[in-house]
C-alpha cells in the first residue's frame, strides 16, 4: 500500500500493519473529531471514516483496533461488527463500540455481534485510552509499542 492511498476523507492511510493505527468509524464529523484529536495527541495514527467507508477502509488501512460509533437509534446497527467477525483477517481485531444507550439490551446486542468493549458516548479521554491500551496489549505484536506521551483531555458534551 502506498502513502498516496487515501481514506474517504482524503487523509493518507498510515503504514499497513502498524499497531499504532486506529480506525474510527462514526456518523458525523462533530462526533468523531474529538476522539481523533485525543488519539492523535496520544501519538496514534488515526484513520477517520464514515460508516459507509468503514468496510473498505478496514482492509486498506489494516488498523490494530477499530472504534465504531453507533447511531443514535434505539437498536444499533451492528452489521459491520458481525461482518468483521466472519473474516479470518479481522476476526480477532479489537473493536470498541461507542453507544449513547446504557441498557442491558443494547449491551447484549453488542456483545453478541462481537464487540470487544462497550463505552458510553461521549466517553472521557482517560477511559477511552485505558480501554484502548488494554485491548492492544492483548493483540499480538503490541509488546513492541512504546506508550508515548499522552496529553489527556476531556471529551466535550455533544
Q: What is the pLDDT of residue 42?
A: 93
Could you list the beta-strand ranges (E) of 41-132: 45-50, 65-69, 95-99, 117-120
The CA–CA distances, whole Å, from 24 to 40, 144, 148 equal 12, 23, 20
Decide if 154 is inside a domain: no
Nearest to 117 by CA among 72, 43, 67, 152: 67
According to DSSP, the residues that pair with 97 across neighbouring strands are 68, 118
Q: Which three cell numbers, joined as nine digits, stand for 82?
A: 458481525
Q: Which three cell numbers, joined as nine digits, stand for 17?
A: 500493519
Decide if 73 is inside a domain: yes
According to DSSP, the residues that pair with 66 across neighbouring strands are 23, 95
Please give the residue that has the higher pLDDT: either 9 or 1. Answer: 9
Decide if 111 is inside a domain: yes
Q: What is the pLDDT of residues 112-153, one digit of tens each?
A: 999 999 999 999 999 999 999 999 998 765 433 333 333 333
pTM: 0.76
Domain that holds residue 113: 21-137
Decide if 157 is inside a domain: no
Q: What is the pLDDT of residues 67-113, one digit of tens each?
A: 999 877 656 678 889 988 998 888 889 999 999 888 999 999 999 99
Q: What is the pLDDT of residues 20-36, one digit of tens each?
A: 899 999 877 777 788 99
Decide if 144 is inside a domain: no
**How many independent structural domains does the chain possess?**
1
Q: What is the pLDDT of residue 140?
A: 67
CATH label of the domain that carries residue 28: 3.40.50.2300
Decide if 120 is inside a domain: yes
Decide if 15 is inside a domain: no
* Locus of grid cell 456483545: 111
* Locus of grid cell 476523507: 9
Under a CB-based contact definition with an 8 Å cutoff, are residues 21 and 63 in contact?
yes
Residue 64 makes CB contacts below 8 A (sequence gap 6+) with 18, 19, 20, 21, 22, 93, 94, 136, 139, 142
The CA–CA distances, whole Å, from 13 to 26, 72, 104, 140 equal 17, 28, 36, 21
Decide if 153 is inside a domain: no
Amino acid at each position: 500500500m502506498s502513502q498516496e492511498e487515501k481514506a474517504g476523507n482524503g487523509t493518507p492511510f498510515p503504514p499497513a500493519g502498524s499497531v499504532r493505527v486506529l480506525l474510527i468509524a462514526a456518523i458525523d464529523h462533530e462526533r468523531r473529531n474529538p476522539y481523533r484529536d485525543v488519539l492523535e495527541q496520544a501519538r496514534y495514527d488515526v484513520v477517520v471514516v464514515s460508516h459507509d467507508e468503514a468496510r473498505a477502509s478496514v482492509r486498506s488501512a489494516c488498523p490494530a483496533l477499530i472504534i465504531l460509533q453507533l447511531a443514535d437509534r434505539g437498536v444499533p446497527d451492528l452489521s459491520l461488527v458481525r461482518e468483521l467477525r466472519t473474516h479470518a483477517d479481522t476476526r480477532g481485531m479489537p473493536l470498541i463500540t461507542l453507544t449513547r444507550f446504557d441498557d442491558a439490551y443494547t449491551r447484549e446486542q453488542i456483545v453478541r455481534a462481537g464487540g470487544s468493549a462497550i463505552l458510553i458516548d461521549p466517553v472521557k479521554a482517560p477511559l477511552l485510552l485505558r480501554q484502548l491500551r488494554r485491548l492492544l496489549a492483548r493483540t499480538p505484536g503490541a509488546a513492541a509499542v512504546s506508550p508515548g506521551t499522552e496529553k489527556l483531555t476531556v471529551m466535550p458534551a455533544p
